[in-house]
Amino acid sequence: MMWLEALLSSMLVAFAFLLLLNSPAPTTHLQDAAALFQLEARAALLA
């Protein structure tokens, strides 16, 4: 289960980094990050 905790923490760090980006379209980054988070979470559950 340690790999799952590491995966989740790294995804949270990546998500926070996307939030801090100064982008002209932050909502697009949020939607992309949310979609990626959901996909990786499903993959982690299936693994």
Tell me: the pLDDT tens digits for 8-25? 888 888 877 776 675 666
35 token code pair: 């979609």
39 token code pair: 């996909």
pLDDT score at 25: 62
pTM for this structure?
0.40
Task: Report the largest interatomic distance among the alpha carbons of the chain, rounded to a whole angstrom.
Answer: 38
Confidence of residue 30 (pLDDT cuts 50, 70, 90): confident
The alpha-helical segments, DSSP class H, found in 1-47 are 2-20, 26-46
pLDDT score at 15: 79
**Average pLDDT of the chain?**
77
Mean pLDDT for 28-33 is 75
- 3 or 24: which carries more pLDDT confidence? 3
